[in-house]
């Protein structure tokens, strides 16, 4: 199988992701989940994703589809890159095993379906926060812990963000 085929095989439906995750768990592997838009991939993203992958054996990305990104209020021009392009760029990273697009405003449904062992977000969230109304609350943390899983935060690379890149361009 060539590299192009391998990249495309990382982008899967929820149904296929569930099947693969089940097999990985049966083999004793820990599945890590994180989510985001990953609109303009930069050093901060790559560092974060590599560190997230280090929290287990397999890293699954829940990728907001275009409609979901637009509803987040990041600006009329967002996403800059369409969901297919964003997924393909992410697939090129060695640290990522699977990418699953989702349409909802939060990843709660996909987390409940995939049942990861580990949930990871950036340190702008708080793994100890239990109030779902708090901006620091990690969506899905209660559900992952209820299944015996763990929730971690990862320090972000200072000075790197899609917003900063866009400000430099305009």
For the segment 108-125, what is each residue's pLDDT rounded down to a tens digit?
A: 999 999 999 999 999 999
Residues 138 and 124: beta-carbon distance below 8 Å: no
Q: What's the mean per-residue pLDDT of the chain?
A: 94
Cβ neighbours of residue 41 closer than 8 Å, sequence gap 6 or more: 86, 89, 90
Structure tokens at 61: 């990305």
Q: How far apart are CA 58 and CA 96, in angstroms?
A: 7
The pTM (predicted TM-score) of the whole model is: 0.93
Q: Which fold has domain 3-169?
A: Rossmann fold (3.40.50)
Query: Which pLDDT tens digit goes with each residue over 29-84?
Result: 999 999 999 998 999 999 999 999 999 999 999 999 999 999 988 777 889 999 99
Eight-state DSSP code of residue 40:
S
Q: What ranges do the domains of the chain cover?
A: 3-169
């Amino acid at each position: 199988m060539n590299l192009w085929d391998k990249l495309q095989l990382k982008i899967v439906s929820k149904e296929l992701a569930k099947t693969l995750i089940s097999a990985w768990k049966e083999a004793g592997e820990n599945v890590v989940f994180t989510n985001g838009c990953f609109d303009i991939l930069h050093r901060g993203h790559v560092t974060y994703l590599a560190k997230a992958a280090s929290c287990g054996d397999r890293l699954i990305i829940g990728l907001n589809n275009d409609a979901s990104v637009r509803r987040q209020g990041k600006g009329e021009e967002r996403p800059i890159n369409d969901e297919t392009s964003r997924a393909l760029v992410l697939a090129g990273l060695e640290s990522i095993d699977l990418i699953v697009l989702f349409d909802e405003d939060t990843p709660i449904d996909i987390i409940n379906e995939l049942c990861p062992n580990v949930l990871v977000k950036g340190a702008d969230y708080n793994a100890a926060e239990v109030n779902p109304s708090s901006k620091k609350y990690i969506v899905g943390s209660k559900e992952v812990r209820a299944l015996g899983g763990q929730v971690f935060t990862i320090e972000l690379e200072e000075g790197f963000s899609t917003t900063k890149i866009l400000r430099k361009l305009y």
